[in-house]
Amino acid sequence: MSFEKLPPGKASYTVKHYQEKIEGGYPAEPAESENQNGTVGANAAYTAKNYTGFTYKSALTKVNNTVQTEGTINADSSTVVELYYERNTVNVTFKLASGNVSGNTADIIKTGKYGTALTAPAPEREGYAFKGWSPAPPSPLAFPAINTEYTAQWKINKYPVTFNVDGAGGTLKATADGVAETEMSPIAVEHGKTVAFIATPATGYRVKGWTLDGTAIAEAGTNTEYTLTVTKPAAVTVSFEPKKALLTLEAGKNTVKVKAKTADGKPITVEGCTVTELANEAETTLTAKVAGTQIALIGELTELNCRGSEDTSNRSLVALDVSGCTALQKLDCAKNQLTALDVQGLKDLQELNCRSNQIPELDVHGLTALQKLECQGNKITALNVQGLTALKELDCQSNKELTALHVHGCTALQKLNCRFNKLTALDVSGLTALQELDCQSNQLKTLNVQGLTALQKLYCDDNQLADLDVSGLTALQELICHTNQLTTLNVQGLTKLQQLYCSNNQLTALNVQSCTALKKLECYKNKLNADAFTKLFNDLPAREVSDKAKALLYADRAGVTEENCKDFSTPESLKKAFENARDVKHWKMQKANHFGFGEDI
């Protein structure tokens, strides 16, 4: 190597550039060297380099082997300038994109020096497969020259879902997002998506139950539909069973009288009995093979009558399961020993008679086809028939412990009998079709019958009513409200009212003006004075003798307190009104004698 001779006063010097090693520290040899010329005694000039991933550290600069940023040029060309470059410290952010690492869902930030080894995390995500990072990192992976982000890429898992019918009796179909309804199993379903299964029973069958991976699905019950949210491979099975009614006999008894009707008119298959078939609509006494066991009636039953005997000692039925008889329209299981009755799901049921049993609760919610319900003589404590818009007749009398009755929304209800219970309140507002209401012998303190323009008969006697507003009940024909706490009663203008029994109250006035159809009146045991009776007699409508009109005005028997006026001979106005009602208007004016019967005054 030869060097060109420098002019006098000039000398050469060397500039060396050192890059930090990956493991730290600086190498013995520079990454790059430069030969420079300058004036002897002057400061050696140099310029730091721009290396990718490195930053010049001026504090480490050496001139003539001394840490300094300035130094003079030696005449013998021995001057050396050493520049040092530190590796950049950078952040690499791994965005998990809904994934997690050991449960941590936050972005993972790793810090290191440029070029040093870097290990990427291994994220997980339920229902997804990890497909790598974007952008794709280099291999081998090391810290880059600048801050960098990588985002996890995911592919949703698809799981096989198998489905089938266990045995026979119907079909099973499935549908899911991206999967049209099909009977072909299996189907592939993305994680988190739902599969809707639809079971269609064959005629005479119903769903028995569902299983998921071999375990019974309690929430699916005997429904015809089931929805599954898929998070792993799954196997769904549905089973069917023949529709049947199960009749359980009391221990020691083996006969029951039955009449049943099927939708197709075919005979009913019988199990557990001495016969195997029951003719359609034929009343038959069935004999169980073993006393106190079950008898099964298998078929598409639309009507079932298993009413017990009038003789309470000869009622053999202690349990009845009709949950599978989904086509049932009429059920009569009255006069037995039933302690429970499940009619939920019987959407076609129109008539139910379960009177005279021992049933403590009865759930008829959702039976929108029900038109007639007879459940009197049980042990029901609360009854809710709200929203049964087809219900026309309800008889729930004599449950004795019945304290709550809800009939709101029963817009078709025509007859309601809830007497002999313990009701303290009854809301019949809005029941504009109601024609007959019998709520006698309860504990009612209030009764709102306003707006019941179709009401013809109202029996609310033997309660605790302090007032009763019957104005506007233009169809009312019979009003029986005796044995309450009424102080006034105004039936003025009820032109169809024929019978009014308001005895045993605290009435001081009774207005029957314009009650042109009135023929029967009982008002004894009240507080009606001479003036009240004068007006009452004057208001009574004229009748024909053939009408047999009569008014029972006061009680005349020992031990009975009577506060009504009992002498109609004075004053003259009262006498005249009394005689006119009796002789001209043809009313029999009577008192209640010792036996409680009417006796002419």
Residue ending a domain, among 35, 64, 87, is 87
The CATH number for 231's domain is 2.60.40
* pLDDT tens profile 9-29: 999 999 999 999 999 999 999
Whether pLDDT at 2 is above 50: no
* pLDDT tens profile 189-202: 999 999 999 999 99
Average pLDDT over residues 373-382: 98
Whether pLDDT at 557 is above 90: no
**Residue of 289, 358, 281 lying closest to 317 (CA atoms):** 358
- The pLDDT assigned to 3 comes to 52
Domain range enclosing 118: 89-156
Write down the residue that tokens 């959702």 correspond to: 366
- The pLDDT assigned to 1 comes to 41
Residue 383 counted as domain residue: no
Residue ending a domain, among 156, 181, 196, is 156
What is the pairing mode between strands 478-480 and 457-459? parallel
DSSP state string for 30-85: -SEEEEEEEETTSBPP------TTEEE-GGG-EETTEE-S--BPPTTS--EEEEEE
How far apart are alpha carbons 423 and 566 in whole angstroms?
Answer: 36
* pLDDT tens profile 299-334: 999 999 999 988 888 788 999 999 989 999 999 999
Together in a domain, 494 and 572? yes
Together in a domain, 113 and 139? yes
Together in a domain, 169 and 151? no
Together in a domain, 498 and 585? yes
Question: Residue 279 has which token pair?
Answer: 């003719």
Tell me phi and psi for residue 247, to 5 degrees.
Answer: -110, 120
Q: Which of 32-36, 323-327, 592-596 has the highest mean pLDDT?
A: 32-36
Cβ contacts of 419-427, under 8 Å, gap ≥ 24: 419/459, 421/396, 421/397
**Beta partners for 242?**
205
Together in a domain, 83 and 101? no
How far apart are alpha carbons 255 and 253 in whole angstroms?
Answer: 6
CA angle 91, 96, 98 (to 5 degrees): 150
The sign of the torsion formed by the CA atoms of 382, 407, 321, 345 equals negative
How far apart are alpha carbons 449 and 444 in whole angstroms?
Answer: 13
Residue 226 counted as domain residue: yes
The CATH number for 140's domain is 2.60.40.4270
Evaluate whether 148 touches 92 at the Cβ level (below 8 Å). yes
Please tell me the total count of domains within the chain: 4
DSSP state of 314: G
* pLDDT tens profile 245-267: 999 999 999 999 999 999 999 99
Average pLDDT over residues 87-92: 98
Write down the residue that tokens 């009038």 correspond to: 310
Together in a domain, 152 and 164? no
Whether pLDDT at 554 is above 70: yes
How far apart are alpha carbons 355 and 482 in whole angstroms?
Answer: 28
The CATH number for 25's domain is 3.10.20
3-class SS letters over 520-585? EEECCCCCCCHHHHHHHHHHCCCCCHHHCCEEEEEECCCCCCCCCCCCCCCCHHHHHHHHHHHHHC
- The pLDDT assigned to 559 comes to 83
Whether pLDDT at 435 is above 60: yes
> Distance from first CA to last CA of the chain, Å, rounded?
160
Whether pLDDT at 475 is above 50: yes
- The pLDDT assigned to 296 comes to 96
Residue ending a domain, among 156, 181, 204, is 156
How far apart are alpha carbons 523 and 500 in whole angstroms?
Answer: 8
